[in-house]
């Protein structure tokens, strides 16, 4: 069977564009494109057949199908030849059973999908493997692509740099100066990417990179390039597989540029269209109050939307005021009976720390999602009986400055309720035991 996919305009214009064309927006109306799969071809295999196939390939050593992205290649990007796939065995991230945290906040069936446990420490790997593989494919077909570039709040650049380094392709990353963590800055440097640190914010970097790419034949790797969405949508398929093909009730996703919430919705819709699942979950997008254009639009029932000037937030990867995928996200949220909630700096930091007390290790963006969950449970918009999945987007160790600042109680606007600091002592038996039993409440 020949599986096929192509780009089409999300605004509904006619026209199909090949996945190996260098095109990100509709040439007729300027809307974003999305990848459309040939559903009739996909339906030639039964729903059960797809489940069995994905299960058999999952985490296997059969390259490239052991990657949870490429194990679903027919539904992701059938146009790439296996020899051009650039993969780090993506996906397969743990579904953490947050039993203790759930009990403490009043959700009986709470899970955290650990998408940050990956090669470069964020879910961005899931989409970048598809994009860079397609670039390698285009270069092998003779297309002239001197480099691949992106604007980034830190994690996209890390993923782009790593995958390009693997493939021997030049990467150029545009970062807002002093607005990414040290670890996030080191990642593209270590992988040899040309790293431009600009005196602006993410939205400013985004504008310049688009201009540079358009005028210089450089390939754009931001999530307006919908190839990345195709990789990220496998989060949904993998999650449902982890629940033995049971659909969870609610999924909470932190949102910045809004590609990931769109991707997760797209994954569910594809499974639904193919009969692999028979209902859809509710999707919740969680935003930082400091960068909340989607939340403000939600308050108007999505009737109005205005970009905002994003303000400084600890959740630096979602400090975005002008999300590129706003239209896709709104469409998905409407289809999924979605909700949007926001979190203040104090709420996100304490939510992350609360979760950490129950064995997690949460980046500030995951903190935004957790805080949104806590608020929606308190408002009774999520019931205790529902199965809830929080998408954890990055490995917390990339944000050590955040965690240390939290525990030292020196984050602006945050009162650290769960601060835990080392007790400094001389190496003296009595002083040490005294400290231990004081702490244990038995002194």
Ligand X SMILES: *Cc1c(COP(=O)(O)O)cnc(C)c1O
Q: Which one of 25-33, 97-105, 249-257, 425-433 is the stretch in contact with ligand X (CB under 6 A)?
A: 249-257
Q: Is 122 in the site for ligand X (CB under 6 A)?
A: yes
**Among residues 258, 271, 274, 340, which is the contact residue for ligand X, using CB under 6 A?**
258
Q: Which member of 394, 396, 411, 414 binds ligand X (CB under 6 A)? A: 394
State in angstroms the smallest separation of the CB of 52 from ligand X. 31
34: part of which helix (H) or strand (E)?
strand 33-37
> Could you identify the residue written with the tokens 């002592």?
425
Q: Which stretch binds ligand X (CB under 6 A): 143-151, 255-263, 289-297, 417-425?
A: 255-263
Looking at 25-33, 135-143, 252-260, 420-428, which segment touches ligand X (CB under 6 A)?
A: 252-260
Pick the closer one to Zn ion by CB: 10 or 360: 10
Binding of ligand X by 317 (CB under 6 A): yes
Output 175 or 318, the one with its CB closest to ligand X.
318
Shortest separation between residue 327's beta carbon and Zn ion, angstroms: 11
| Candidate list 176, 248, 254, 267; residue touching ligand X; CB under 6 A | 254
Residue 254, beta-bridge partner list? 286
The DSSP line for 229-280 is HHHHTHHHHHHHHHTTTPPPSEEEEE-SSSHHHHHHHHHHHHHHHTTS-SS-
Please report which helix (H) or strand (E) contains residue 327, including its range.
Answer: helix 326-335
Residues making contact with Zn ion (CB under 5 A): 9, 11, 13, 26, 28-29, 31
> Does position 25 bind ligand X by CB under 6 A?
no
Unique residue bearing structure tokens 């192509």 = 6
Q: How far is CA 295 from CA 202, 249, 283, 331, in A?
A: 19, 21, 14, 14
Task: State residue 177 phi and psi, 5-degree precision.
Answer: -60, 135
The answer to whether residue 259 forms part of the interface with ligand X (CB under 6 A) is yes
Residue closer to Zn ion, measured from CB, 12 or 422: 12
Choose from Zn ion, ligand X, none: what does 11 bind? Cβ within 5-8 Å by kind.
Answer: Zn ion
Peptide bond into 64 cis (omega under 30): yes
Tokens encoding 8: 């089409």
The answer to the question of residue 393 lying near ligand X (CB under 6 A) is yes
Residue nearer to ligand X on the CB measure, 169 or 286 = 286
- Pick the closer one to ligand X by CB: 71 or 255: 255
Q: Token pair 């999505």 is at which residue? A: 302
What burial class does residue 67 get, using C-beta atoms within 10 Å of its C-beta: 0-12 exposed, 13-18 middle, 19+ buried? buried
Nearest residue (CB) to ligand X, 206 versus 271: 206
Q: How far is the CB of 264 from ligand X (least distance, A)?
A: 9
Alpha-carbon distances of 325 from 15, 85, 100, 383, rounded to whole Å: 20, 26, 35, 29
Let me know the angle formed at the C-alpha of 429 by 425 and 432, rounded to the nearest 5 degrees. 40
Kindly report the CA angle at 248 between 242 and 253, in degrees rounded to 5?
Answer: 95
DSSP state of 187: H
**How many angstroms separate the CA atoms of 438 and 185, rounded?**
41
Size of the site for ligand X (CB under 6 A): 17
Q: Which is nearer to ligand X, 66 or 255 (CB)?
A: 255
Q: Which of residues 221-240 bind ligand X (CB under 6 A)?
A: 223
Instruction: By CB under 6 A, name the one of 240, 252, 318, 332 that touches ligand X.
Output: 318
Q: Which residue, 69 or 363, is less far from ligand X as judged by CB?
A: 363
Smallest gap from Cβ 91 to ligand X, in A, equals 16
- Which does residue 392 touch among Zn ion, ligand X, none (CB within 5 to 8 A, set by kind)? none
Cβ atoms 397, 427 nearer than 8 A: no
Binding-site partner at residue 26 among Zn ion, ligand X, none, CB < 5 to 8 Å by type: Zn ion
Binding residues for ligand X, rule: CB under 6 A, are 122, 124, 155, 223, 254-260, 317-318, 363, 365, 393-394
């Amino acid at each position: 069977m020949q599986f096929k996919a192509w780009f089409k305009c999300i605004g509904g214009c006619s026209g199909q564009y090949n996945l190996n064309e260098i095109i990100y927006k509709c040439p007729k109306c300027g809307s974003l494109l999305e990848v459309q799969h040939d559903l009739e071809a996909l339906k030639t295999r039964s729903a059960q057949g797809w489940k069995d196939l994905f299960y058999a390939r999952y985490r296997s050593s059969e390259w490239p199908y052991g990657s949870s992205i490429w194990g679903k290649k027919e539904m992701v990007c059938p146009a790439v030849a296996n020899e051009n796939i650039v993969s780090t065995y993506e996906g397969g991230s743990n579904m953490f059973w947050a039993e203790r945290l759930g009990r403490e906040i009043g959700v009986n069936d709470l899970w955290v999908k650990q998408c940050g446990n990956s090669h470069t420490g964020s879910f961005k790997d899931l989409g970048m493997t598809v994009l860079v593989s397609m670039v390698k494919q285009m270069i092998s077909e003779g297309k002239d692509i001197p480099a691949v570039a992106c604007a980034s709040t830190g994690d996209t650049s890390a993923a782009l740099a790593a995958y390009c380094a693997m493939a021997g392709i030049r990467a150029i990353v545009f970062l807002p100066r002093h607005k990414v963590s040290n670890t996030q800055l080191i990642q593209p440097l270590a992988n040899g990417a040309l790293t431009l640190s600009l005196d602006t914010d993410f939205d400013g970097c985004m504008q310049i990179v688009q201009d540079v790419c358009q005028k210089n034949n450089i390939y754009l790797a931001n999530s307006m390039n919908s190839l990345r969405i195709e990789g990220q949508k496998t989060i949904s398929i993998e999650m449902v597989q982890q629940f033995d093909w049971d659909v969870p009730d609610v999924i909470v996703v932190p949102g910045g540029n809004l590609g990931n919430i769109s991707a997760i919705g797209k994954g569910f819709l594809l499974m639904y269209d193919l009969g692999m699942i028979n209902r859809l979950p509710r999707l919740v997008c969680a935003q930082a109050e400091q960068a909340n254009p989607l939340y403000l639009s939600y308050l108007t029932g999505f009737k109005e939307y205005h970009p905002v000037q994003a303000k400084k937030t600890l959740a630096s990867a979602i400090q975005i005021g002008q999300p590129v995928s706003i239209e896709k996200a709104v469409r998905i949220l409407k289809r999924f009976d979605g909700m949007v909630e926001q979190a203040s700096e104090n709420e996100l930091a304490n939510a992350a720390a609360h979760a950490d007390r129950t064995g997690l290790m949460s980046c500030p963006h995951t903190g935004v999602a957790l805080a949104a969950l806590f608020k929606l449970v308190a408002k009774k918009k999520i019931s205790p009986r529902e199965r809830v999945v929080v998408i954890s987007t990055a490995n917390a160790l990339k944000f050590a400055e955040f965690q240390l600042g939290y525990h030292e109680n020196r984050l602006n606007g945050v009162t650290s309720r769960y601060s835990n600091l080392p007790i400094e002592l001389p190496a003296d038996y009595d002083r040490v035991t005294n400290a231990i039993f004081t702490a244990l409440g038995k002194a």
